[in-house]
Every structure is written in C-alpha cells, then in structure tokens.
Structure 1
Amino acid sequence: MAIEAKESGMELGAFSVSLAVKDIEASRAFYEKLGFNPLMGDAAKGWLILKNGTTVIGLFQGMFERNTLTFNPGWSQDAHKVQGFTDVRDLQSELKQRGVAFMLEADASSQGPASFMLMDPDGNPVLVDQHV
C-alpha cells in the first residue's frame, strides 16, 4: 500500500535527538570522530549540542532519563531565531484538539520560552521546547 504525503499544517521547528549520556566527554569524543562539531552548550553543566551537516544531536548528562526526540519552535537547524513560527502554546492547543495526551504542559497563559512533553505509542519521549 502506497502512502501519499500530505501537509499537516503544523510546523514544530528545528529537530534534534537528545541523548541521555553517562559520560558527556566520552560521548563528545565519540560523536566528534563521526564528524559532529560543537554548536553550543557547556559540558561542565551537563549539556552539549553537536552538528554534522543538517543533523543535530544533544548530549545531556543527568538531565533526561531516556533518549528524547526534540523539536524547537522558533529555531532553525543552526539554532538561530526564525520569524513567523508557531508558538509552543498554539501547538499544544492544536494537539489537544487532536486528542493527544501530554506528560508535561506549557502554561497556556505564559509568553516566551516554554515547553511540553508527549510520549509516543512506543514510550519514546517527544519534547517541544521553545527557547524564544
């Protein structure tokens, strides 16, 4: 059965995989051997963002229990602010209308940075984390 692509109308922003690592320096060294370069972060504080082409991964020591799919509304794949993005609270409202259950919700009355978290059917955490 062929699957036909269709536009969902929902733009989640920049995508990365956030890896829950045991030793951030060992993980950094491993991914640098694969061609990833540091984009931002602070290893002493337990987080680094690495990039290889358009692929972005986050290394997080002591912050996440599991590897997490991460979306950043308002950010490009280069971690630059973009204009005309859909606010995380609007995404949350749309997902609620679609019947999606939340593990963590953004305060709908707030403005600026906020996040929510979902769990996919296989138990994979999905974080939508707006920094702007």
Structure 2
Amino acid sequence: MKLGAFSVSLNVKDIQASQSFYEHLGFHVFGGDIAQKWLILKNENCIIGLFQGMFEKNILTFNPGWSEDAENLDAFTDIRDIQKHLKANGIGMLTEADEATEGPAHFVIEDPDGNRILFDQHR
C-alpha cells in the first residue's frame, strides 16, 4: 500500500511567528497562502503544514498520488482502496471518502492515542 507524501499539519496560534520559527530551522515556504492563514514548508524531504484556525489538533497527513515535491506519481494506491483496506482491518473512520467516486477525496482516522490522520488525495 503506497500512502504518498507524508507531512505534519500543525494547528498554530500565529502563522507569521510559526513561519519565522520554522524558517530558522531551515524550512522554506513551498506552498499555501499566508493571507488565508495556511502555509506548506519544506526542508529536504520533511514537510510541515502550518494552519491557523482551521482545525483543533495537529494532524498527520498522507497524500496518495503525490511525491514529496507535490508531483503526480505514476503508480499509487487510490484512497478508496486504502480506506477499504483499513476498514477490513477494523480501523474506524471519523470521515469517509465516497467509494463510488474517482479522483480527489479524503478520509480521517484516529490512532489509539487520539491523533488524527488525514488521507487526502488531490487527483
């Protein structure tokens, strides 16, 4: 099962202060829109999303179909197949992707400690 690019999505209080902090750690802005209060930062193959006021907790994120450079992958496991596999193995869904569709979709699960994991396919 190929999960795609991995990132940590952080719920931040002050996106400008967080941007400055992570830039001092060697990250650079890779995407996003600070006016909308979200940025994607990258340092080599490490990716961090900064999100102000969009969700309550930090989230682990997988992007099936994307590389760490946000480039489309030729071969990947479709999000609906990942969801079916997880459900067949007893993993409960907080939100679900519509398995009757194709293309972009997402779902959310939670690990045993309450950490949310977002699977977000953009293509």
User: What is the TM-score when the length of structure 1 is the normalising length?
Assistant: 0.91
What are the within-5 Å matches in structure 2 for residues 15-26 of structure 1? Answer: 15-26=6-17
Secondary structure at 1:109 match in 2:
coil
Distance in 1 (CA, whole Å) between partners of 2:122 and 2:36 is 18
Counterpart in the other structure of 2:115: 124
Say whether residues 1:96 and 2:87 are aligned partners. yes
Q: Could you list the runs of 5+ residues in structure 2 that have no partner in the other structure?
A: none
State the superposition RMSD in angstroms.
0.7
The one-letter code sitting in structure 1 at the alignment partner of 2:4 is G
Show structure 1 runs of 4+ deviating over 4 A. Answer: none
Amino-acid identity (%): 61
Say whether residues 1:77 and 2:68 are aligned partners. yes
Q: Could you list the runs of 5+ residues in structure 1 that have no partner in the other structure?
A: 1-9
The one-letter code sitting in structure 1 at the alignment partner of 2:22 is Y
Deviations 1:26-62 (A, max 9, x none): 1101100110001110011121100001100000111
Count the aligned residue pairs: 123
The one-letter code sitting in structure 1 at the alignment partner of 2:111 is D
Distance in 1 (CA, whole Å) between partners of 2:97 and 2:23 is 34
Secondary structure at 2:6 match in 1:
strand
Deviations 1:94-130 (A, max 9, x none): 1111111010101111111100000000010000001
Counterpart in the other structure of 2:41: 50
User: What is the TM-score when the length of structure 2 is the normalising length?
Assistant: 0.97
